Amino acid sequence: MVLSPKLEFRQSQSLVMTPQLMQAIKLLQLSNMELVAYVEAELERNPLLERITEGEGAADAASGETPSETAARDDAPAPEREAAVSGDWMEGDMEPSRAAMETRLDTDLGNVFPDDAPADRGATGGGSTGQSPSTGEWGGGERGDDYNPEAFLTAETTLADHLEAQLSVAVSDPARRLIGVHIIGLIDETGYFTGDLDQLAEQLGVPRAEVEAVLKLIQTFEPSGVGARNLAECLAIQLKERDRFDPAMQALVANLELLARHDRNALKRICAVDAEDLADMIGEIRRLDPKPGLAFGSGVVHPLVPDVYVRPGTDGTWLVELNSETLPRVLVNQTYHATVVKHARSQEEKSFLADCLQSASWLTRSLDQRARTILKVASEIVRQQDAFLLHGVRYLRPLNLRTVADAIGMHESTVSRVTSNKYISTPRGVVEMKFFFSSAISASGGGEAHSAEAVRHRIKLLIEAESADDVLSDDTLVQKLKEEGIDIARRTVAKYREGMNIPSSVQRRREKMALRSEAS
C-alpha cells in the first residue's frame, strides 16, 4: 500500500450555530421583562438602532410614511423641510404664534424652552439660575402652575430603615451601633434574623456575647417580634410584651408542632390545663403576627404582564393576539448609516458600521420572528385546550410538546423555549403557557385520557367537600376517582395531595374536629 498525498472533495450537511442563530434562540426564551432589558442594552450599544415610540408610530401611520421616509424628510435641507412640514407649529413668525404654540403643547412655553420664559414668571439674570428673588435656593416661588405635589412624596419605608432609625436613638456607642447595623442587614423581609452569631462575631472581631446582647436589644424594637431566629422565639417575644408568657404558654410555644397537628390531648397534658384554657391560649397565639416584617415595604414587586391575550370572538371562535406593550419596537436607521458611512475614513470605522448594521438587522428580524413564533404556538395551544377555556380546569386535556410541535411544524425544543416564562390571559385567568402541558392519566373504561392537572383539581374539590364525620382517605379518593372514570394509583393520589400541601386524612380529621369544638 502506497501512501501519497491527494485532494478530495466531500459534500456533507451540518448544523452550524451562527451568532445570529444563537441570538434568535436566546431571544425566544426570554421573558418580556428580560427582553426589554436586552433591547435597551442593544440600543445603547448600537448607534444604528432606534426605538419606535407610540407617537412616532401613530404619526407615521397617519401620514403614510415609512420610518426611512420620515428620517429622509428630517435630513432634507431647510427650505425643503419647511415646505414638507407646512402647517406645523414651527411655521410662521415665532412671537405672534406663541399663544397658539402654548395651546398646542398644552403647557407654558417656558416649561419647554426655559430661556424663553417671560420675565414676570420670576426668572432672574436671564433665567440662568431658575430661582425667584423671594424663594432663594428652593426655586419654588408661589405654587401657581409650577406646584407639583409628587415632589413631596417619599419612598416607602422599609423594615431596615425603620429598625436603623430606632437603633440610632437606642444606642449611642459607635461599636454597638455598628454591630446593630450588621444584624439589621441580616434580618429578612419577614422580620427574622437569618445570620449566624458566631460567624458575625468573628467577622466583626467582638465577643459573641456582645453580638447577642445587641440582638436582644433589637428584639425589643417595633414591630413586636422582629429579630427572632425562629417562629417560637417570635411568638415568645410578643407574648412577653403582653405579659402572657406564663409556664403554660411557654410549654405551648415549645410544642408548636403538636399545635399544627391539632393534637389537643397531648397539649392539655403538657401544658397542664383543661380544654377551655387551652382554647383560650390557642386563640391568643392566633392573634399574634408570625411575620411582623411584612408590614413594611420591601423590594419592587413587578406585575404579571401576559404576552398573549385570548378572548372569545363573535362567531364562537377564539381570538388570539399578542400584547403589543410587551414587544419592543425598534428599527434600523438606514439614513443615518448612509450618512455616516460616507464620512468613514479608516477600514476599522467601515467594519464597525457594517457590524452595527448587520447586528441591528438581525435583531429586528429576530424580534419579528419571536413574535410570530409565540403567536403560532399560542394559537395551537388554544385550539388544543378549547374545552378548558369554555368549561374550566376539569376539562383540561393532556398535552405534550411534541403534539404542538408536530401541529405547527416546529421542533420540540423551540416550543419548549417559547412556553418558558410566557403567560396567556384567558377568560379563566392569566396562566403560564407551561400550565397547558401535563401528563395523561388513563381512563378506567378505556375512554379519553385525563389531564394530570384536571385530576389534581378533582382531588382538591373532593377534599374540600368532605365533612368532619366523613374524611376521605387516599384509598377512598382512589375509589371515587375510578367511579368517575379515572384510573389512578393510591401513591399517585398521595403525591398529588402532598404537592398541593394538603395534609393526610388523619390530620384533616383532627383539624375539622378542633374547628367543630371551637364553634360549639
pLDDT for 518 equals 66
Return d(Cα 78, Cα 275) in angstroms, integer: 92
Under 8 Å CB-to-CB from 141, ≥6 apart: which residues? 122, 132, 134, 135
Which whole-number Å values give the CA distances from 511 to 260, 272, 448, in the listed order?
9, 21, 37
Residue 418: Cβ-neighbour burial (10 angstroms; 0-12, 13-18, 19+): buried
Cβ neighbours around 356 below 10 Å, total: 18
Q: What's at 322, amino acid-wise?
A: L
Distance of CA 492 to the CA centre of its chain: 32
- The whole-number pLDDT of residue 345 equals 84
Cell of 76: 432634507
Three-class SS string for 13-34?
Answer: CCCCCCHHHHHHHHHHCCCHHH
Gap between the Cα atoms of 53 and 187, Å rounded = 43
At 75, list the grid cell: 435630513
Identity of the amino acid at 271 = C
pTM given for the model: 0.58
Residue-by-residue DSSP string for 314-357: TTSSEEEEE-GGGS--EEE-HHHHHHHHHT--SHHHHHHHHHHH
Instruction: Report residue 174 as a C-alpha cell.
Output: 459607635
**What is the distance between the alpha carbons of residues 287 and 21, in angstroms, rounded to a whole number?**
58
Contact by Cβ (8 Å): 227, 187: yes
State residue 138's pLDDT score. Answer: 35
Q: Mind giving me the DSSP string for 253-272?
A: HTTHHHHHTT-HHHHHHHHT
**What does the alpha-carbon distance between residue 23 and residue 359 come to, in Å, rounded to a whole number?**
10
Q: Quick one: pLDDT at residue 1?
A: 60
- With a CB cutoff of 8 Å and minimum separation 6, the contacts of 364 are 330, 331, 332
Q: Which residues contact 295 (CB under 8 A, 6 or more apart)?
A: 223, 289
Neighbouring residues of 212: CB distance < 8 A, sequence distance ≥ 6: 197
List CB contacts of 145: < 8 A, sequence separation 6 or more.
Answer: 108
The pLDDT value recorded for residue 323 is 92
Which positions ≥6 away from 254 have C-beta within 8 Å? 232
Give ∠ CA 19-25-30 in degrees, rounded to 5: 125
How do the pLDDT tens digits run along the chain, 520 residues long? 678 888 888 888 876 677 777 878 888 888 888 999 999 999 999 999 998 865 554 444 333 344 444 444 444 444 444 444 334 433 334 343 455 445 544 555 444 444 444 444 444 334 443 333 333 333 333 444 444 555 444 556 788 889 999 999 998 888 889 999 999 999 998 999 998 999 999 988 889 999 999 999 999 999 999 999 999 999 999 999 998 899 999 999 999 988 888 888 888 899 998 888 888 888 899 899 999 988 886 555 667 889 999 999 888 899 999 998 888 889 998 888 888 888 888 888 889 988 999 889 989 989 999 999 999 999 999 999 998 898 888 888 888 999 999 999 999 999 999 998 899 999 988 989 998 988 878 776 666 788 888 888 899 999 988 887 888 899 999 998 988 888 888 999 999 999 888 888 888 888 777 777 666 6
CB contact set of 300 (below 8 Å; sequence gap of 6+): none
Establish whether the linkage from the previous residue to 114 is cis, with ω within 30° of 0.
Answer: no
Length of the chain in residues, anyone? 520
List CB contacts of 479: < 8 A, sequence separation 6 or more: none
Cβ neighbours of residue 370 closer than 8 Å, sequence gap 6 or more: 24, 27, 28, 35
pLDDT of residue 445: 66
Asked if 468 and 416 touch (Cβ cutoff 8 Å), the reply is no
Please name which of 206, 201, 207, 226 lies closest in space to residue 216, comparing C-alpha atoms: 226
* pLDDT in the model for residue 383: 93
How confident is the model at residue 71, as a pLDDT?
A: 45
Spatial CB neighbours of 39, under 8 Å, sequence gap ≥ 6: 328, 330, 363, 367
**C-alpha angle 442/444/445, rounded to 5°?**
115
Taking alpha carbons only, the member of 321, 295, 294 closest to residue 309 is: 321
Strand-pair category, 440-441 with 423-426: unpaired
